[in-house]
Amino acid sequence: MRKFFFLLKLLFLFLKKKKIIQSNYNIGKKTWFGTGGKAKVFFQPECLNDLSLFLKVIPKKILIYVIGSGSNTLVRDGGMSGVVIKLNNGFSDFFYDKKKKVIKVGGGLKNLTLIKYCLKNSIGNFEFLSGIPGTIGGSLKMNAGCFGQTISENLISVDIINRSGECLFFKKEDLKFNYRNTAILSDWIIVSAVFSAKKSNTTKIQHYINKISTIRKKTQPISSRTSGSTFQNPESYKVWKLIDKVGYRGKKLGGAQISEKHSNFLINNGNSSSLDIELLGEQVREKVYSETGIKLDWEIIRVGKFIKN
């Protein structure tokens, strides 16, 4: 046992020297809400070998949380124990195989980067991703979507590293994609994905991207500190309509507010705590349920230690 902890310490020092691991990292400020506490350990692997070795050595009792760009995450004010992993630039590569008509992308690649590449190379059916901030891995994990499309529609397969540091391969049908949910476990890390890549007209692609941008600017608080849609749409209902029905559009709690522009968006007005945001969200859920009997499920991922003042 003593030898094990000695080796663990050596690994930590090795990774710290490479400047890819930090202690007490202010992870909350890196999310789109810009609120919340620190991560006890923050690890940004640059390559598959570092990631796999780290997961094999770290004891299984230590919790692992994977974060993409932080665009759909609320870190609670009490911070996060365990290890937060964010894939670094080594997982942001992509390769377009023109003959096979597929594109392979890293799990850490930003959606916007993929969109720009697809536009430049006249690859269609990815335009909707311009309306989804985040990374490919994070988007796949929750089967993100908007404007009638989801990221899994073009998917062929994914490569994943599990909690034990083992590399796994899955075809799309193995992962049971449905509305904002998949069979991908919370501590699995998507390191790459393969999508079908069909040619399209560049002008058509640009027109659709422009259309999405116009709609978002008109209907969403994109200039505010927000993490996008707060709650999942219940079957046959639109959340924003339910929130409007109970009169909660624009409601405030501390520095948090339900957006006047789109009532399914919680925003940080500049001085909000994570507690303000979460409690306001819970107030919405309780009010909607008491008046309509409909339960709202969070779409935003809440992590860390809950501390109530």
Q: Which residues are catalytic?
A: 180, 229, 299
228: left (phi over 0), alpha (psi -120 to 50) or beta: left
The H or E element spanning position 39 is strand 39-43
Give the SS3 label for residue 276.
helix
For residue 21, the cross-strand partners are: 43
Q: Phi and psi dihedrals of 173, rounded to 5?
A: -65, -15
Other CB atoms within 10 A of residue 27 CB: 25
Using the CB atoms, write b or e for 169-192: b if 16+ within 10 Å.
Answer: ebebeebebeeeebebeebbbbbb
- For residue 2, give every residue at least 6 positions away whose Cβ sits within 8 Å of its Cβ, in sequence order, or none: none
Q: Is the dihedral of CA 115, 211, 68, 157 positive or negative?
A: negative
- Which residues are within 8 A (CB) of 302 and not within 5 positions of it... i.e. 6 or more apart? 73, 74, 76, 278
